Chain A
Amino acid sequence: MGVLALVGTRKGLFLLTADDERDSWQVEGPLLDGWGVYHAIVDERDGTFHAAANHLVYGPTVQRSSDGGKTWRRSHQIGLPEQSGLTVNATWHIEPGRPAEPGTLYLGGDPAFLSRSDDGGETWEANRGILEHPTRDRWPPSRGGLLLHCVQLDPSDAQRMYVAVSGGGTFRTVDGGATWAPKNNDVEFDLVSDPYPEVGQCVHKLVLHPARPERLWQQNHCGVYRSDDCGDTWQRLDGNGLPGPFGFTIMLDPTDPDVAVVIPEKAYEYHYTVDGLGVYRTRDGGQTWERMVDGLPQQAWAAVLREASAFDAESMYFGTQSGSFFALTNGDTWVEGVRHLPPILSVEVTAWSE
């Protein structure tokens, strides 16, 4: 089966397609021309495309297309409650709901809000448990915003889900979103006097393993972590083979819960890869890491953002801020499928046939 990649960029959305070999890619776009597409995803329940599209002047939007990207409709109610004193700065992530909840979608954004739609993305209602969280005054904002950027639904439990905030940490609900418990035990935040606070951690990417949903991985500002108990405890994993603790994105293998792939970057103010474009994989749950750079440029100062990677049962995919899109072929070799796109902000994939 071939693959369709929705590649969100600083200047619009591109549709990339390849057959089963994944070594030759066709490009269509830009759709949503001129919009910064922070995230775009296909809702597997009905084929609708959803995009978190932002513009420096026209502001934040959520857009959807039911005809493969030819025409788009904007959500008309994404604002936050007036009494909150907050307004939406940007939309960052759209997560389609579970198969048993058609029409439901989740939206994360800045300033650290989670909204839910029950009408397919036309209107949204902000989650009060997040907006009014008792620890919210201890979530430090940064120059890039205060971002709720990851929403992970537990496929085995309709009431359990996770969100991640930069910087606030990981939060879990077990009552469908009414209340949220911080899940940052053993996760370091090295900027404050207590390096293991209840909240304030800067999670860069949180991913739940689809076949073992009690297992979560996170690439944090301060290291790579794995939890095997729904976030109750975390084990730090970047000490054995990674060149550093810092990075943004993380990819998994849906057929093997012990596999994870990260792309470390020079930390803090810098945000680019060191020693070429170095991708690192673990096959043993993070105990050891190996460099996997076959096919990647070794003279490179690349940056791969949190949303700019994806995985399916056959392969992994990522895009760089320098506009290159890579796919893993034969399990070990990367192919640069497309280059010279605008800076890539997000990648999602879905099955596709010509």
Chain B
Amino acid sequence: MVRVVVPSMLAAQAGGRGHFDVEVETVGEALHALPVADLVIDERGELRRYINVYVDGSDARDRGGLACPLTGAHEVRIVAMLSGG
């Protein structure tokens, strides 16, 4: 079981829920299991460009992206990367 934690705008789009406990093998499966999957994965099945996914604090893009295995992982955290001022 891994806990997927989403930021507040995604939680608002998920009826107010900020985390989801899912039984899955990969980051891609974890994201697809969310009611906000379409907001983190684009219409061609790719992780949106400025969404980062951290698996127990490590950037999933460095570990296979959507294929990143979740064996032994506890937390998947979704972060919207925004800059500017």
Contact = CB atoms under 8 A, between A and B. Distances in A.
Interface of A: 33-35, 55-59, 61, 72, 74, 76, 78-80, 82, 87-88
A58 B39 contact: yes
A80 B10 CA distance: 23
A74 B13 contact: yes
Interface residues of chain B: helix, strand, loop or mixed (majority): mixed
Q: List 8 A-B pairs, minimum CB-CB distance, nearest first.
A: A79-B43, A57-B80, A58-B39, A57-B50, A34-B9, A87-B43, A59-B48, A87-B44
Interface in B39-68: 39-40, 42-44, 48, 50-51
B80 A58 contact: yes
B80 A88 contact: no
Interface of B: 9-10, 12-13, 38-40, 42-44, 48, 50-51, 80-82
Given A57-B81, A58-B9, A59-B42, 20 more contacts: A33-B12, A34-B9, A34-B12, A35-B9, A55-B39, A56-B50, A56-B82, A57-B51, A58-B39, A58-B40, A58-B48, A58-B51, A59-B48, A74-B13, A74-B38, A76-B38, A78-B43, A80-B43, A87-B43, A88-B43
Where chain A touches its partner, the secondary structure class is: loop
Nearest to B9: A34
Which interface residue of B38, B39, B48, B51 has the most chain A CB atoms within 10 A?
B38
Q: Which of A59, A61, A79, A82 has the most CB of B within 10 A?
A: A59
Contacts, number: 40
A55 B9 contact: yes
A249 B83 CA distance: 31
Nearest to B44: A87
A61 B39 contact: yes
A246 B48 CA distance: 36
26 contacts: A33-B12, A34-B12, A55-B9, A55-B39, A56-B50, A57-B50, A57-B51, A57-B80, A58-B9, A58-B10, A58-B39, A58-B48, A58-B80, A59-B39, A59-B48, A61-B38, A61-B39, A72-B13, A74-B13, A74-B38, A76-B38, A80-B43, A82-B44, A87-B43, A87-B44, A88-B43
Contact of A33 (B9, B43, B51): B9
